[in-house]
Amino acid sequence: MKAARRLLPALLALCLLLCGCTGDEAAAPAETGPAPAAVPARTPAPERPPYQELPVYMDGLLIDRGYVYEGTAFLSPEPLFDRAGLLMEYTPGPGGFTISAPGLALEAERSAEYLCANGRWFYTPLGCLETGGRVYLPAELLARLFSVSVSVGEDMLRADINSAGLSLLRGGENYYELNFPAEDFYWLSRIIYSETRDQPMAGLIGVGNVVLNRVASDNFPDTVFNVIFDRKGAVQFDPAADGSVLGEPDERSVIAACLCLEGYNTVGESLYFVNPDRGDGSWFEASLRLVISIGDHDFYM
């Protein structure tokens, strides 16, 4: 009996060998179709954006790290809130995020090139950076929110914050109406809307810049209204002639007017612009210097 038990495994192995398969193959079901395509063990992670880490110093002491993306430094506001003795709450959502603290309320949509803080609008063409459960703001915006000096060298190797005079942004629901002539705000938003409509935000700001550059120039009238309706030599803005400037501006145009009043500039000292597909640009090309093209418009000075 014992000898039979010892022979049983050997006989089983011999049978499998004669059948031309291994024990595993014998247990596998027969294939009824083509073999499935190979599936990788895991999907490779998407390529990480080219963010460069940036040491951040405040008043000479290393306090944090930020990032550099496309020549713009992004810094966390947390150290400045800490310096002010305020607790910051960052709340990400499906379409954007909020930052709240005593004295500061900021809202941002990720798809927009601007954000609102304390009732004021700020231009953020590269957006903001959210990573690791934190949010990082453009250095220029951070400086304005906290009234501090933020310097980043041309080599983008470090950022330095001077916290002297730190204070939170002054604003309010009626900030623009209270701090700028109502007539300027009214007409600036309308000329932007009637001249741009579907153009990129940089183009909307550019049209507003041209109007304000003319107001500041000795060669043009000295109010927004008079610049828009100026007819010295010829009509300066077609919407002023055909009446479309009287239309109600959309939200983007109102925001663009706010951004212009905040000092944002996308066209430098340009005093003219033209859509070469809709108007004759030969005089502009022959008489002026092209500064930049944005969307459908060429800007000249």
- Does a structural domain hold residue 21? no
Give how far Cα 264 sits from Cα of 105, 113, 116, 131, Å. 21, 12, 14, 27
Q: Residue 49: its pLDDT value, please?
A: 60
pLDDT tens, residue by residue, 79-136 = 999 999 999 999 999 999 999 999 999 999 999 999 999 999 999 999 999 999 999 9
Q: For residue range 232-245, what is the model confidence (pLDDT) as tens digits? A: 878 899 999 999 99
Give CA–CA dist 283/234, Å, rounded: 13
What per-residue confidence (pLDDT) applies to 40? 35
pLDDT given for residue 31 in this prediction: 40
Categorize the per-residue pLDDT at 1 as very low, low, confident or very high, splitting at 50, 70 and 90.
very low
Domain boundary among 140, 162, 184: 162
19 in a domain, yes or no? no
Residue 57 sits in the same domain as residue 100: yes
Q: What residues contact residue 277 under an 8 Å CB cut-off, 6+ apart?
A: 296
Same domain, 68 and 157: yes
Q: How far apart are CA 77 and CA 66, in angstroms?
A: 10
Do 94 and 207 share a domain, yes or no?
no
Does one domain contain both 149 and 187? no
Cα(169)–Cα(102) distance, rounded to whole angstroms?
A: 11
Alpha carbon distance 41, 146 (integer Å): 48
Give 41's pLDDT tier (boundaries 50, 70, 90).
very low
Q: Which of 162, 191, 223 is the last residue of a domain?
A: 162
Measured CA to CA, the distance from residue 301 to residue 292 in angstroms comes to 10
Do 196 and 124 lie in one domain? The reply is no
- 108 with 208, same domain? no
Identify the domain containing residue 87 by its residue range.
Answer: 52-162
What's the total number of domains in the chain? 2
CATH no. for residue 121?
A: 3.30.457.10
CATH of the domain at 198: 1.10.10.2520
If asked whether residues 180 and 295 sit together in one domain, one would say yes
Instruction: Output the pTM of the full model.
Output: 0.81
Q: Residue 4: phi, psi to the nearest 5?
A: -65, -40
| Rounded alpha-carbon distances, angstroms, from residue 115 to 1, 92, 119 | 88, 14, 10
The C-alpha atoms of residue 190 and residue 220 are separated, in whole angstroms, by 19
Res 279: pLDDT? 72
- State the pLDDT at residue 232: 83
The average pLDDT across 269-278 equals 92
Instruction: Decide if 5 is inside a domain.
Output: no
DSSP, res 235: -
Query: For residue 30, is it within any domain?
Result: no
Are 44 and 56 in contact by the 8 Å Cβ rule? The answer is no
Residue 181 and residue 281: Cα distance in Å, rounded? Answer: 33
> Are 182 and 244 found together in one domain?
yes
Terminus-to-terminus CA distance in the chain, angstroms?
A: 109
pLDDT at 251 over 70: yes
Flag whether pLDDT at 156 surpasses 90: yes
- Domain contains 42: no
Please name every residue paired with 106 in a beta bridge, in sequence order, or none if there are none: 99, 117
Are 301 and 272 in contact by the 8 Å Cβ rule? The answer is: yes
Say if 183 falls within a structural domain: yes
* β-bridge partners, 274: 298
* Cβ contact 49:69 at 8 Å: yes
Query: Token pair of 43, please?
Result: 């999907």
Same domain, 183 and 274: yes
In this structure, the answer to whether residues 119 and 198 fall within a common structural domain is: no
Same domain, 79 and 137: yes
Q: Is residue 205 part of a domain?
A: yes
Same domain, 201 and 144: no
Sheet holding 134-138, edge to edge: 129-131, 134-138, 72-75, 61-69, 52-58, 159-162, 149-152
